Amino acid sequence: MSIYITTTNQTGPAIAKLIKAELNLVAKEINETIAENVNTADVTILIGKGTSSDLALNGKNVYSVSNVDEVFANPKQILKDAATKAKSYIMSPVDEKATSADSDMKRIVAITACPTGVAHTFMAAEAIEEEAKKRGWWCKVETRGSVGVGNELTAEEIASADIVIVACDIEVDLSKFAGKLVYRTKTGPALKKTAQEFDRAFKEAQIYQPTSTVKSTTTKEKKGIYQHLLTGISYMLPMVVAGGLITALSFALGHFEDVPKLVKVIVDGVEVTKTSMVNTLVGEPHFGEIGSLAFKLMIPLLSGYISYSIADRPGLAPGFVGGFLASEIKAGFLGGIVAGYFAGYVALLLTRFIKLPQSMSALKPILIVPVLATLATGLAMQFVIGGPIAYLMAALDAWLENMGNSSSAVILGAVLGAMMCTDMGGPLNKVAYASGVGFIATQQYAPMAAIMAGGMVPPLAMSIATFLARNKFNETERGSGKAAFVLGLCFISEGAIPFAARDPLRVIPSCIIGGAIAGGLALLWETTLRTPHGGLFALVIPGVVEHPVKYLLAITIGSIVGGTIYAIIKKPETNLEKVAEESVA
């Protein structure tokens, strides 16, 4: 039997993803087939309270499961009951009318990308797919995540699309959409206001032309310094993770001098102990050197891709050179940021104002602009910009190293932890995160500990609140609480968004207090973190977290405090709200 799994309109994207993953896993165990779409399935399982506005379900055999908890409690039974309990699904006239407002089938293609390539990238993609499904439209979303391109769009799919939605917080290559109607937005609106963004897309989309015109340049400038910075951070992140983890492993595995040398092997005729081989492989000459080289490339990557975001490919060379010089003169990540902006805007100005005959125009982006911009950036970094920033970074490094567990450390940790909880992946969250990544690039690991501790609090706190004050939450919220717990462990602050969107005046202050406590305790106890992501799973890697027990305790205390506060101050549902929910179900 072939089974298609879908969720109702009221089921959030995060919980819907967990439901589908759980049922897919169990289906493999009992040899059931999961269909790709409703038209190829023998039966459909519709999960969640409320109804579905997917016109394709009308008249199909559908087994409705309103209680999400039943799916997680006994997923095998849900799949077994589908065949015997499915009934013909009849869409109500109201839902059908709403869904059929646009009778013609539209074809949507989209791209999503966020700075870290983890949470917003995939949550926004799922929100776009769900909204298209509600409207009865065909949709495919390509994700530009941390592991590369996922669900890649084909040339045929792009050619047949009515519109392209680009929901990206960073600069991405859109050359394959030349000549198509393109609507540009951010992952936040695509996730939280998906329906409104769909409506705006068809009103405001413009034909995309990748050629460098005055109009396209102006549009790029309007993105502002914030988005250029996020682009640089997103390209630097993999190098930060690689450098941090490899360096940590070299420390953790490279010290075996005290291990009894009982095992001997022969290498090229020479008797060598096993422990000395380990030291040779993972100590400073190899693992340590690789990690050190990765650290040296972080700032050039940051600078190069900030410049790329501003001036496209002509900005890469001057940006990389400026970042390398910033690293060499000890100007750190602040110098890399300044170099990136300087190189990008110099390259942009040269591209705009240098006029050449048509026969020589091809030389401008590959020869003239990179050479002149690189020369200008290099001289500026060496004789004008670099010195003052290097002095500032030296003072900042000295302050961080001498901070210890003083009141300054607690205040810094509390501020960073609170910023991570203020807007759940918004500008303040990203500014705090970007600063932590920058400090890792200069081998200062304490701020990142406070940042990740604070960022894990919001979803964990909401999950704890749904457990402590179960009767104050409806069934959908309790299901979201379970999903939020998993997302919190993975350092995905966005897991608290469903709660913050519904009750921001209580959720956000509760999370800020919990995050500030977690961040403050993390620095009070002198914990450090060598990687910018991983959440709880970073604790299992030797050497990544200093004082891991204290670090885990800081996260736990902050989450419990935040969750308890919200459990106390949350208003229970009124009888009217309960009746409305039951009537929808």
Which parts of 189-334 are beta strand (E)? 206-207, 264-267, 270-273
Whether 114 sits among the annotated catalytic residues: the reply is yes
CA distance 461 to 195: 29
Local structure of residue 385 (DSSP, 8 states):
I
User: For residue 60, which amino acid is it?
Assistant: K
Q: Where are the alpha helices (DSSP H) in 50-179?
A: 68-73, 75-85, 93-99, 119-134, 155-160
191 closest CA partner among 145, 138, 123 = 123
Contact (CB, 8 A) for 370 and 304: no
- The two three-digit tokens of residue 183, written as one number: 């609507």
CB atoms within 10 A of CB 272: 14
Rounded to 5, what percent of the chain is helix, strand, coil?
A: 65, 10, 25
DSSP string spanning 113-129?
E-SSSSHHHHHHHHHHH
List the helix and strand counts (H, then E) for the chain: 25, 15
- Alpha helices by DSSP H, listed for 283-315, are 289-311
Q: What are 197's two structure tokens? A: 């963004």
- Residue matched to tokens 């620095």: 523
Nearest to 144 by CA among 230, 67, 71, 80: 230
CA–CA dist 314, 362 (Å, integer)? 12
In terms of Cα–Cα distance, which of 213, 139, 228 is closest to 178?
213
Fill in the amino acid letter for 54. Answer: D
Token code pair at residue 222: 């309007």
Name the region of 87 (left: φ>0; alpha: ψ -120 to 50; beta: rest). Answer: beta
Catalytic pick among 114, 139, 168, 511:
114
- Angstrom distance (rounded) from CA 226 to CA 550: 34
Q: Which residues pair with 110 in a beta bridge?
A: 141, 165
The H or E element spanning position 344 is: helix 332-353
The residues carrying an active-site annotation are: 114
